Each structure stands twice: as C-alpha cells, then as structure tokens.
Amino acid sequence: MKVFYFFAFLILSCTEKEPLECYGKNFLQSNYINSNSGFENNQRTLFTTFKTSDFETPFEKSNMTCGEVLTNHFYCNICTNNQQNELKSYNNRRYKINICNDVNEFTNNVLSLIKSMTLGAEEYESFLTYYNSSYTIEELELLKKQFKKSDTSPKIRNIKIQTH
C-alpha cells in the first residue's frame, strides 16, 4: 500500500502545475464583462509571470496602461507573479503564451492570440476604434447604442462613430 501512495504522489507531483490562486496584490480585476460571449465565463483570466506593477506601463504610444487595455477592452482578469504565461478563454480553454521580458510585447502577444478568436476579433475591432479616437469607453458605447437603432451595418456604424 505504501508503494501505491508513493507512486501516486510521484505522478501528481510531476504533472504540470496549475497557475497560482489569484488574490490581493497578485490580481487585477476587470470591471467589464462580455455579456454577449454565450459562454459560462464572461471574462478571460490571464496568468502571467509579470508583476502587477508591470501592467502600469503605458501601452505603446497611448494614454492607456497595458493593464487597462487588457482589463477594460478584452475582459481579462490578470493573475500576476505566476510561473507561466497562460490565457484562460471564455470557454475555459487554456492557451500558452511565450515568455518575454517586455510587458508591451507581452500585451501585444496576448492581443494577437485574442484577435485570432471569433469573439476576440470583434473585441479587437472595437478596441481599434477606441484606440484611434479620443472617446472614452462609455462615450463609444453610447454612440454604438444610438447608431445601432438607425443602421444595422457594422461597417457604416463604425464609420459613423469614427467621424462623430
């Protein structure tokens, strides 16, 4: 019986480790949910080796931080100080993300992964509209709601939003 427990312990200790539990200073929570996801989860979870403070870095040449981009526009809760980089999607599927030393490069890697997903592609298009405008997220949402009433074409709606 001792041999069984030894092998069970050995097998379990050699399996890939789950990311750490997120709490307090190791957790950046998104205040936004994607109510149109159609999945059990309305937010993604990003596990990363970066520190929480790293996500305060300005994203490229914008007035947003890397953390704001991921939490506000891509519905990501961020669990920092982990041993690996991994994205848990709306459907609970996990995707490995390459390790890098620059938080901007990492954020762009995450965005590339997300925009390759069906819902992520829509979110990315919405993000580009925001990124290339001077509107707040709330103002863009109001504009989208207003223009949805008058026209069902997403291309025309985005052109209207960009020009108003």
pLDDT digits (tens, 9 = 90+) for 125-149: 989 888 887 777 777 677 667 666 5
- Compare 140 and 114 and report the one with higher pLDDT: 114
pLDDT on residue 148: 62
Give the DSSP letter string of the chain. Answer: -HHHHHHHHHHHHHSPPPPPPP-GGGEE--S---TT--SS-SSEEEE-SS-GGGGGSB-TTSSSBHHHIIIIIS-EEEE-S-SS-EEE-TTS-EEE----S-HHHHHHHHHHHHHTSHHHHHHHHHHHHHHTSS--HHHHHHHHHHHHHH---HHHHHHHHHH-
Is the predicted pLDDT of residue 116 greater than 60, yes or no?
yes
